[in-house]
Amino acid sequence: MAEQQQQRRNNKKGSRTKEKEVEWQERVVQIRRVTKVVKGGKKLSFRAVVIVGNEKGQVGVGVGKAADVIGAVKKGVADGRKNVVEVPLTKSNSIPHPINGAGGGAQVMMRPASPGTGVIAGGAVRTVLELAGVRNILAKQLGSSNPLNNARATIDALQSLRTLADVAKERGVPIEHLYA
Where do the domains of the chain lie, and which CATH numbers do they carry? 23-83 (3.30.160.20), 88-165 (3.30.230.10)
What is the structure's pLDDT at 5? 58
Q: Report the alpha-carbon distance of residue 131 to residue 25 in Å, rounded.
A: 7
What is the structure's pLDDT at 6? 58
- pTM beyond 0.75: yes
> What does the pLDDT look like over 102-152, one tens digit per residue?
999 999 999 999 999 999 999 999 999 999 999 999 999 999 999 999 999
What is the structure's pLDDT at 100? 96
What is the structure's pLDDT at 174? 87
For the four alpha carbons of 47, 75, 57 and 159, in that order, the dihedral sign comes to negative
Contact call for residues 150 and 141 (beta carbons, < 8 A) = yes
User: Which segments of 38-144 does DSSP mark as H helices, in order?
Assistant: 69-82, 123-132
